[in-house]
Structure 1
């Protein structure tokens, strides 16, 4: 397969390295931050993984494939990408785990994690990427055993928006009274392959933290900002690789409930002036799914998603939504647009900015059609 260089020794980079090694690549892993490189060398050695980490941005000369997999904010990633673009061979494939804000020939290539559960790759070609390079990126996804979907390079993808909305909905439930492990248990009881907080521990909390910081200037001021995850990261609760996140992982083993997390959540609720209340498992399950349906309808309306099927594909392969339900939009159609519109309207009484039913749902409720049939101009409905 040839030589592959991965720049960034965080969870995303290590995941990519392992998948590429299984596919037959000779992998070199580089980390620009010396302290991070040292920590990752220790962690990889303890885990028994045959991966070496070198300090610095790496040299892509001679590499058939280069992947930038840093978890920093865009301004910190930019100089590394510029270095790689200047030295990467013209025939080499240059990828980035970032999907938006890319330029030139760089192709966004987001591997969803945890890798043993998620089989989705979103591919976002840069404005100057050649068709042969785009085809090579899709072929690489297949070689890694992933299902690939195309994403835009100039705005958040379907997967990014669904994930952000899931995190927002879950964190809102926490500050209003839910307990992290009970929310995870409710999700698994509904059929998700893993709870959102245990999944975050496996992925690493620093990834979502960097994403939230990158959104600071464009965040809607009408939406509540829940700082719980920020505090988790700032207190060193970075996930399983660090031994502690939403759960503790004694000896690197399985997740163990940490009562200190519940204390942290309740303290943040007190700071926010929120009186916690109890939620049933059914309430937790319904709110999370309705949040994703709501975001899916918004994406249909603004053109981010071409069809409800695309949203279903991403929710299944990228988020772990129950396969038996066919995807979040398929679940909405099974319940009926009238039911969904009524459920969202009730939630909108609490927070209109977050829950007001979008036009696709209202229109489908009014004319009796399904979201799978909805088009922006109302034409060509039907399968």
Structure 2
């Protein structure tokens, strides 16, 4: 049974039991209704204690039901009946009480939380709003301002904060025992939250919440609709507002944004090691070596330190060692300043860090991660040194962004121990980890990569070997298409504004100014020898680098940074000159054409990546674009969005662009296959 109930003397115990997190689906709702029927027949009860079995009270509604028609009993009806029950209910919260779980807590007359509990209404992160009274009961309990903050951001509160704001009555180590000890007479005096008056209206608080939502969740519908409903709690009768809340919830859950956010949620949950790797034995990681103490290496080292590992950062000189140590300690200090760790945590991390120019310090490490300069010669030299000092069964990993993992592995006596572990900067913050499977990579090396991702709480995606793997290969095509738009008539600020309008936090030229134009320049030079001579080459970026415009670090790039970020007329001059050299008559290009062109370029490249087996599925491409490259989460990821457009529309769009540039816009075989078979991209890659 998903809900169990029993009595001991005057106490009824109702326990949610739907592992692993007591998601509230039909069986839970029906089980609670059955418990309410049973309670109505029991005499001389003075309380009902509601708890969750296992590690959660209830982690919210079962989102898998959202694609089907709602089935009774509905959660709002269950909770209203709990409130109106003759016997008072006590919520005994241990673990998480999120979404519908939080709404169950709000439906109880008395609320107790364990010290480690988290309580909140994160529905807006799934493109919906609380649908079982959250927008009406929470403001009546904690006040308008706090409810606006919690619901419009979706951020839960811990037990201490819940007590501070009045969300719970007490915090106790043993929540069930504490619930048994609550004074029975006190329980009889506690009103249902639905019977309390709404909070006093505060227009400034409502407006502040709207501004914050517009900034933090631009173009997302649910946060603003939630704010509307919370504001309504100030003036509208509870039952009237509840009808509006329910109608809003049902409307939003079938919308494109909610479907996209659900897709992203389930894709992230499914990001795990392939089935064949689950039985592969791996060593217990205790010591990891990182080669290179620059920005990327320091970030990787700090991520490893956060996971409780002993870390040795290797450099080539005393100066490099000093710089590496300073880089890691700078991140530790920043985390300390932000309150992410305390003094003891900081000291523990420093104690587990060794920086050295002696490769022998890595002798007992189970894994080494190379994060050295992006040069094949440099990387081969690093791995030659590593294999000379490390155990023959230690795994050797490269963090290369573009280079051929198989060529790097060829320097090893045993290339099966080589795997690609492509982190994203800043490595201690970004969640994506591309795990690159070389032609010789052993299952043991791959399995250790997935074990590490789990330990670092990163989203792992398996990738094959090609130039740029999944993410950087798509990024390169995105930038190439953007440069073509510049040559044809757009300006950097036009392209950036169009992609921000699509949902990116920043456009491609703003992002390139941040990372440095010299990085893309060096990558283009690496590709010179193999570039298709028939493919259109845009040299605008080269001219920018030749002019010393490398981005923020030099004070100028695609924009000028002498006084904030401003448009520089010199950039338009460079672009116009290149258009003239190429014999291109510049034209006006609107935002819609820009975003459509760039998105189609990425979709076509991603389809090729899936077709070639570099990515295992459309879902994996979604994860890479969401967690590594800023694709708007509310669009679900690149290939989910491609399925929203539909393969036929995608094909027509690419064919239209191919008319003017058939080399760059050669249609991927996967797209044609999907259209011919009448299937989605997700279906084409799910086998």
Q: Same fold (TM over 0.5)?
A: yes
Q: Is 1:151 paired with 2:463? A: yes
Shift of 1:114: 5.2
Contact 1:174–1:265 (CA<8 Å) still a contact in 2? yes
Aligned to 2:478: 166
Alpha carbons of structure 1 residues 174 and 308: separation in structure 2 relative to 1, 3 Å = same
Segments of 5+ residues of structure 2 without an aligned counterpart are 1-284, 334-349, 410-414
Segments of 5+ residues of structure 1 without an aligned counterpart are 376-381
C-alpha separation in 2, matches of 1:87 and 1:111: 24
Shift of 1:40: 6.4
Alpha carbons of structure 1 residues 201 and 24: separation in structure 2 relative to 1, 3 Å = farther
SS in 2 for 1:279: coil
Task: Pick one of 110, 135, 140 that aligns with 2:422.
Answer: 110
Q: TM-score, normalised by structure 1?
A: 0.81
Aligned to 1:123: 435
Structure number with higher relative contact order (C-alpha < 8 Å, ≥ 6 residues apart): 1
C-alpha separation in 2, matches of 1:255 and 1:304: 38
Matches within 5 A, 1:327-346: 327-346=637-656
Aligned to 1:227: 539
Task: Pick one of 368, 375, 378 that aligns with 1:73.
Answer: 375
Contact 1:315–1:321 (CA<8 Å) still a contact in 2? yes
Aligned to 1:97: 399
Task: Pick one of 581, 590, 610 that aligns with 1:300.
Answer: 610
Contact 2:298–2:327 (CA<8 Å) still a contact in 1? no
Alpha carbons of structure 1 residues 40 and 288: separation in structure 2 relative to 1, 3 Å = farther
Runs of 4+ displaced beyond 6 Å: 38-43, 47-57
SS in 1 for 2:660: coil
Shift of 1:328: 1.9
Shift of 1:271: 3.3
Give the number of aligned pairs.
374
Task: Pick one of 441, 448, 452 that aligns with 1:140.
Answer: 452
Matches within 5 A, 1:171-320: 171-241=483-553, 243-249=555-561, 255-320=565-630
SS in 2 for 1:113: coil
C-alpha separation in 1, matches of 2:484 and 2:325: 36
Alpha carbons of structure 1 residues 16 and 38: separation in structure 2 relative to 1, 3 Å = closer
Shift of 1:285: 0.7
Shift of 1:240: 4.0
Alpha carbons of structure 1 residues 151 and 273: separation in structure 2 relative to 1, 3 Å = same
Aligned to 1:357: 667
C-alpha separation in 2, matches of 1:241 and 1:90: 42
C-alpha separation in 2, matches of 1:85 and 1:268: 48
Q: TM-score, normalised by structure 2?
A: 0.48
Contact 1:73–1:214 (CA<8 Å) still a contact in 2? no
Larger displacement relative to structure 2 (285-294 or 358-367): 358-367
Q: Is the radius of gyration larger for structure 1 or structure 2?
A: 2
Contact 2:321–2:357 (CA<8 Å) still a contact in 1? no
Aligned to 1:19: 303
Aligned Cα RMSD in Å? 3.7
SS in 1 for 2:664: helix
Larger displacement relative to structure 2 (61-70 or 329-338): 61-70
SS in 2 for 1:121: strand
